[in-house]
Amino acid sequence: MAAVQWPENVGILAIEVYFPSTYVCQEKLETFDGVGKGKYTIGLGQKKMAFCDDQEDINSLCLTVVKGLLEKNRIDPKDIGRLEVGTETIIDKSKSIKTVLMQLFEKSGNYSIEGIDTTNACYGGTAALFNAVNWIESRSWDGRYAIVVMGDIAVYAEGNARCTGGAGAIAFLVGKDAPLVIDQGIKGTYMQHCYDFYKPDMASEYPTVDGKLSIKCYFTALDKCYQLYKEKFARQQQTNLQKTTISDFDYMIFHTPFCKIVQKSFGRLMLHDLLDLEDDLDSNMQEKYKELIKYRGIDLESIFDDEKLCKDIERSSVKCSEMMFKEMTKPSLLLAENIGNMYTPSLYGGLVSLLVNVDQDSLLNKRVVLFSYGSGLASSMFSLKICPEEGLQAKFLKLVYQMQSVKTKLSQRIEVEPDEFGRILKRCEETHHLSDYTPMSSLDNLWPGTYYLTNVDKKFRRTYARKPKTSKFVETAETSCGFL
């Protein structure tokens, strides 16, 4: 019997991004909401927030992004063997979004596609990615590609949390010989039962949020995952744990409910590194950590009970890490600043932002560390290598080239004034759960090629059509699975 040839360099081969064509300006929203100037833009680090009208839902977002991935990469639908969806935007308590996406494969006759939806707040997309990679690296793999889809519509009730919404979807083509290779054996995971953010009311789109607890849970998960990740990285690289610091990595990307928390997170990891150092600090290290040395003996878990101490440490950590943050993490915030919190795609919007903001030659053979967090809570820190072998460069250049349209589309969006934004969200709030309903909004603002909801019948069955890309013919979801 011939030896099994396990796939090598398993990871991301292609990426497709979708976000709505409409947004609200955060600076104008500050004025409209009557909050202090800079609360959303400076305090949270946000610029614009994407949102959907009633003709888009989680099914249409995922249909659009998967169809785009198939078309742009000229993928034969029969070559897909697994399709995983990560989301927390639930419109049916039983039927998965993955089954809705199977419409895109009917024309090809491919009904043999494994995978299903995965749900836990913003972590579902990461779990879906891990499932797809594990499938390809296992005896269950049948040689075909996997698709990982993550999408959400993040909306909040009127009040101080509404500015942290957003909407979008991202799809990955996952397979062997990929230009973005998921590191094997280096992953730190931390999970715990808590009620920091959850959605107990099945009739409402809005979550129940304990803001103070949510921040504490996020940082606790970050602490635990980073410690575990560093331990595994040090063992794999055969290095001393206490000498392993963020300087050993090239880029770091974080789940981004709002941008300011990312800068605080990066600074917190620098404090971690200092606390792990057991030896006396030489002059170079003293200069590097001068803003934080006074906290060297502190217990990170205990500081949550002292709000003033927390703020002092945050300020010192941010100041100490400012230069490294600008180089290693700031380039990953483009989509988060201009779209808002996409929930499950949030972390991977950071990856896309990095790819379009950093020169491609500077990315070759670099390691990117990613921190994924989902309330409730589930979290992981893992990493990927960008084009670790020369033979993968052509695929990498193709992937980066396809991502360049992201900046163009961001600039082509339509601004909606805050009062109209509020009316649209009110309409969605009142109609998202209805049967026998036809969306009232215009299709004019939708991007060409976007799927949209046409009707919800008396039995709550949803049908979709596709806005034409170039012609006046509107494709339905059932007839649009042709491949360019």
CB 168 within 8 A of CB 342: yes
Q: Give the model confidence (pLDDT) of 391-413 as tens digits.
A: 899 999 999 999 999 999 999 99
Q: Give the model confidence (pLDDT) of 279-297 as tens digits.
A: 778 888 888 899 999 998 8
Query: DSSP character for 364?
Result: T
Query: With the CA atoms of 284, 310, 186 and 246 taken in that order, what torsion angle do they form, in degrees rounded to the nearest 10?
Result: -20
The CATH class, in words, for 11-476 is: alpha beta
pLDDT of residue 481: 35
CB 104 within 8 A of CB 481: yes
Beta bridge partners of 24: 49
Distance CA 203, CA 198 (A): 13
310 contact partners, CB below 8 Å, separation of at least 6: 303, 304
Order of strands across the sheet with 180-191? 117-118, 80-86, 145-154, 166-175, 11-18, 180-191, 378-386, 367-374, 251-254
Residue labelled with tokens 């005896």: 139
Residue labelled with tokens 């292609």: 14
Q: Give the model confidence (pLDDT) of 119-142 as tens digits.
A: 999 999 999 999 999 999 999 999
Closest to 335 in 3D by CA, of 10, 14, 18: 18
**Two tokens, residue 80:** 């897909």
pTM higher than 0.85, yes or no?
Answer: yes
CB 256 within 8 A of CB 349: yes
Per run of 10 residues, the mean pLDDT along the chain (length 484 residues) is 70 98 97 94 96 97 98 97 97 96 97 97 98 96 97 93 96 97 96 96 90 94 97 89 88 97 96 86 86 89 87 94 97 98 98 96 96 98 93 92 94 96 95 94 94 97 93 42 31
Active site residues: 88, 122, 255
Distance CA 115, CA 36 (A): 46
Report domain extents, the chain: 11-476
